[in-house]
Amino acid sequence: MRAQYAWRSLALAGLLAFVGLSIILQMIRIQTSPEAETFRERVATHAVADTTYYPERGLIYDRNGHLLAGNKTVYEIDVELKNVKEPNALAKAVGTELGLNPDDLYNLMVKPPNNLPYIVIGHYVDEDKALALKQLTGQTDEQTPTSEQSSLSGLVFTPHPQRSYPEGALASNVIGFVSNDGHGYFGIEEKYNDLLAGTPIQVKVPVDPNKAADIPQIPNGTTLILTLNRDLQAATEQILDDSLTKYGAKSGTIVIMDPRNGEILAMASTPRMDLNQFLDYSAIYHNASEYNPAVSMPYEPGSVMKILTMAAALDNHTVTPATTFFDTGVYRIGGVTIRNWNGQAWGLQDMLGCIQNSLNVCMAWIASQMGSQNFYGYMNRFGIGHETGIDLADEAAGRLKVPGDTDWYPADLGTNAFGQGVAATPIQIMMAASAIANNSRMVIPHVLYAMVRDGRQFNVPAQYAGSPISTNTAQVLDQMLENSLQNEASLALIPNYKMAGKTGTAQIPVDGGYDPTLTNASFIGWGPVDDPRFMIYVWLEQPSTSIWGSETAAPVFAQAAQKAILLLDVPPDNIRSQVAMP
């Protein structure tokens, strides 16, 4: 009996050993067979999924840490029709919360277009409204839907990011906006779109939730810090808006720049738009150049150009401050007669008198004495007719006709000398004038102060575009422009602070001529003269209370300068001189 059991045990053991060996051999065969690689690929394919991850868009701050552009979560809300139990109740609840017509919603659910299995009832629903609807339907982690909430079943909430602008329209001309396609348009949002948006990454992500740790961490887009001073920007926009009302101007621009390094401290233009309502763009603007005229809309600036003509003549030694000119009220050049702004003769004048009295005849004579080659050579070095390189989208180059162009005539030498027949943007004039205010060093305007990436801040250094004039020329003309303002008791003067500057009144071209009743009123100035902390450009388009820049743009400059002095904490001249004494 024992022998019989022993035989059975051995047979069973042998059978098990054979089966085990067969399994091992089969495993080896499978792993080494040609089909093994295909099998592995199938397993890998079903274990992961190709997924594209989009970074969160970088934030935008002013120089003092005020948030100008951020991100928020909004929801697309769909109705999955197969899960709707009470369409009437659902339509009323959603209509009440989202401000939609319940009857229209009900009809959509009962008779969906093209028999779709779902309908979209909201694309960009604010988070608070979406959460309120979730609460009504019981779609939270904290509770189980009640029978009443179950009657509202069928809603599907899909979150996605959207750009938000907590300051609304503030600095809208500078910032630009991000549309529903996630792309930046105008201003900083367009110029630095790639940096702000970051780099999308496509990876194979494990389907197994237990391997969630394998999902890569996608770095956010770069955060930008602007040179703008939020408080000065807000004050400048208010000054501009009040000025348009006071002087009856069609539109306007005020730019405040640090002439030492090109940092834009404020840039205000009209019209402006609430960046959160970017779909209103086409109702506010007729074309892209209107979005930020400071960089995108060249115009004939008029007499503010005279400071560049004088700078060129002084630097070229065509004139000195003591050079005299007898103004008869007319000057012929290229077959065209040039007259002064008031049509009068001013008699014997030195160069300070020519600037102070803004004499067109004198400027045309100066340019004629220099010659076209020298005059246009200096204008080119000042950057007139060229982009400044400011880091904002849609900058325009303007137009400076030169000898050799088919539409240039000898008379243009005379008219260009006082800012007629040449088109420039405010930012171009400011860049050129910075050579005078900044001891001959011409700055490149910029709006980006720093970038923040991976927890590190990278500051943007100042850049310069050379020295179109000598340091001595800059200092001499700076003093002349200060004396000019002081002697004429200009409305641009600031008590206890010495300023330098120049007005501009330019007739607007119409139908091949100029309308004497329509003007662009401008003023450019900087201060304090001994240590300039700000340069301000004012442009009022078609003021109606007065056509003259001295009566409209100059007092606006004074208001903006006073606000800049306050917010930038600039001490009066006498206090600074005492501090500077040993």
Q: Which two tokens stand for residue 404?
A: 């050799």
pLDDT confidence of residue 355: 96
Which candidate, 469, 195, 422, places its Cα nearest to that of 317?
A: 469
Which candidate, 460, 467, 476, places its Cα nearest to that of 441?
A: 467
List the beta bridge partners of residue 106.
none
Token pair 């004048």 is found at 349
Which candidate, 215, 220, 214, 167, places its Cα nearest to that of 198?
A: 220
pLDDT confidence of residue 105: 76
Any alpha helices (H) in 466-541, and if so which ranges?
A: 471-487
pLDDT confidence of residue 465: 96
CA distance 288 to 286: 7
Which candidate, 69, 290, 75, places its Cα nearest to that of 189?
A: 69
Q: Which two tokens stand for residue 508?
A: 């607007």
User: Would you say the C-alpha torsion 297, 298, 304, 308 has a positive or negative sign?
Assistant: positive
Residue 124 identity: Y
Q: Which two tokens stand for residue 513?
A: 């001529």
CA distance 65 to 61: 5
If the chain, 582 residues long, is cut into consecutive pieces of 10 residues, what is the mean pLDDT of each piece? 60 65 67 61 55 82 97 83 77 77 77 76 76 70 50 75 94 96 95 92 61 65 97 98 97 98 98 95 94 97 97 97 96 94 94 96 97 97 97 96 95 96 97 98 98 93 96 97 86 94 93 86 96 97 95 96 97 81 52
User: Would you say the C-alpha torsion 399, 403, 406, 410 has a positive or negative sign?
Assistant: positive
Q: For residue 164, what is the DSSP state?
A: E
CA distance 462 to 140: 52
Q: Walk me through the domains of the chain, giving residue ranges and CATH numbers.
A: 72-164 (3.90.1310.10), 230-580 (3.40.710.10)
Residue 553 identity: A
pLDDT confidence of residue 108: 75
CA distance 374 to 364: 14
pLDDT confidence of residue 138: 63
CA distance 350 to 342: 19
pLDDT confidence of residue 142: 47
Which candidate, 541, 536, 574, places its Cα nearest to that of 556?
A: 536
Q: Does residue 509 contact residue 536 with C-beta atoms inside 8 Å?
A: no
The SS3 of residue 78 is: strand
Residue 246 identity: K
Residue 197 identity: A
Triad 17, 19, 21: Cα angle to 5°: 65
Estimate the share of the chain in helix, then strand, then coil, as percent rounded to the nearest 5. Answer: 40, 25, 35
pLDDT confidence of residue 151: 62
Which candidate, 403, 312, 326, 320, places its Cα nearest to that of 361?
A: 326
